[in-house]
Amino acid sequence: MSNSELNTKWNSCLEFIQDNVEPMVCETWFTILKPVSLDNNTLLIEAPSSFVCEFIEENYLNEFQAAVCKYFGNQITVDYKIIVDKTNSQSTTVRSQEFQPAIIKNQKPLSNTAPSATDAPQVQDLDSMLNTKYSFSNFIEGYSNKMARIAGETIAQNPGSTSFNPLFIHGSSGVGKTHLLNAIGMKVKELHPDKRVLYVSSHLFHIQYIDAIRSNNINDFIHFYQTIDVLIIDDMQELSGFPKTTNTFFHIFNHLHQNRKQLIMSCDRHPKDLKDIEERMITRFKWGLVTELEKPDLKLRKDILRDKTSRDGLVVNDEVIDYAAENITGSVRDLEGFIASLMAHSTFYNKEINLELTQDILNKNSKKEEKPITIESIINTVCDYYDVDIDAIQTKSRKHEVVQVRQISMYLAKKHLDFSTSKIGAYIGKRDHATVLHACNMVKDQLQVDKNFRKDMENIESSLKS
């Protein structure tokens, strides 16, 4: 593989990682890595120290492996080229102990195909796909999450037989929904080892459904999910716009609920705010308990910072904790990103953890805030990039350049905005729901095969955020 192609793939990995971890984490730990070569399915990555590699593999292995597998292939192993003497450019090569083909620490790789129920007749043979690092013991309770936590612990004691069925947890990104879902699943497995527990994202459920249709195994797919005792579905909003997948889930939901099996779901919004999902499905989401995970208040932010720094072996005084908690007002993920950066500066850069370092880290991060993206800014940016008149995309013109701008605008609106496809179509060319879905699929397909088009899209999205 040429250096140019290697760097392009690596940059794509970094973009993927940046979308899945805190900005401070990506900047502090991943941008300092450099790809060296790819030979015989082994990716050699240069790192400034073994500590960096160990920290990434201990804390962000799933995200790292997902990115590398996505852009380099599923059979990739990773070696690290560790710089031991910068003056004489001496280095040593170390093989990753965790990063092996198709293995993710504490979690098996997600298969696109749902196994047949007959493939795992015994509960011990079923991969629950739970992440063992998420438990109730490290889920810090506060006012913003108390109800959801209590409901989760109650369910774990007696899954399927409480009034909290289904449990529908909603909240913005990074507030701890995935952590809580996995904690409930892990507790159920501990208390009820005979229960078949499965955690799956809505995206993976959809991919499995499509694969089952293509391979004519839809009955096996449905039957497998009907054997689950505790079904945990993350990011329910991702089923929007997929009526056939949602309809299949509707029937699986009914079967499990009628047989007193437990359903637990998370979403980035309240069920009433979901778009492009049938009302009968939304009604079922509200049969049990709908509860919100809010952003942590000041007290909870302090508790999270104290717990996390203690677990990571950092000695941090109250002045640092108080200042960070007062200035990081977003999600739990933002707090974790700050701690990761604090650890890097303390251990890797050999800096004392004090108020000055804390202020420096937070000031650097605050300068990178992105401007809000709107439907108007998307249309204006895409039209400017391709030098197409804004009014043209509102017409019925079928000129290639106009169609392309219209489709890209629809795709970016779907990606960045909390708009239904019908609303996007109304804004852009007065098109219907089906046209918007077609446009999004066309853009996705072109991104897969056209590197020049990918570069154009990168430039457009960079302009949107700057």
How confident is the model at residue 136, as a pLDDT?
Answer: 94
Which homologous superfamily is 117-292 in?
P-loop containing nucleotide triphosphate hydrolases (3.40.50.300)
CATH 1.10.510.10 fits 298-366, yes or no: no
- Binned at pLDDT 50, 70 and 90, residue 266 comes out as very high
How confident is the model at residue 102, as a pLDDT?
Answer: 39
**Distance (Å, whole) CA 47 – CA 348:** 12
Q: Give the pLDDT mean for 174-199.
A: 93
Q: What's the predicted TM-score (pTM) here? A: 0.64
Say yes or no to pLDDT of 44 above 60.
yes
On whether the CB atoms of residues 270 and 282 are closer than 8 A, the answer is no
Q: Is the dihedral of CA 418, 61, 58, 356 positive or negative?
A: negative
**Radius of gyration for the alpha carbons in the chain, expressed in angstroms and rounded:** 24
Q: How is residue 107 annotated by DSSP? A: B
Stated as kind and residue range, the H or E segment containing 305 is helix 298-311
- Residue ranges per structural domain of the chain: 3-95, 117-292, 298-366, 375-465
Q: Is 14 exposed, middle or buried, given 0-12, 13-18 or 19+ CB atoms closer than 10 A?
A: middle
- C-alpha 435, offset from chain centre: 27
Q: Mapping DSSP to helix (H, G, I), strand (E, B) and coil, where does residue 141 land? A: coil
Stated as kind and residue range, the H or E segment containing 37 is strand 34-39
Token code pair at residue 61: 């292995």
- The per-type count for the chain, helices as H runs and strands as E runs, is 19, 9
**Distance (Å, whole) CA 198 – CA 107:** 12
Architecture of domain 3-95: 2-Layer Sandwich (3.30)
Please enumerate in sequence order all residues whose Cβ is within 8 A of that of 213, keeping only pairs 6 or more positions apart, or say none.
Answer: none
- Binned at pLDDT 50, 70 and 90, residue 88 comes out as low
Averaged pLDDT of the chain: 84
Say yes or no to pLDDT of 5 above 70.
yes
**DSSP per residue over 228-285, as a string?**
-SEEEEE-GGGGTT-HHHHHHHHHHHHHHHHTT-EEEEEESS-GGG--SS-HHHHHHH
Q: Give the pLDDT mean for 388-395.
A: 89
Token code pair at residue 22: 């805190």
Q: Summarize pLDDT for 212-239 with one digit per residue, the tens.
A: 888 888 888 999 999 999 999 999 998 8
Architecture of domain 375-465: Orthogonal Bundle (1.10)
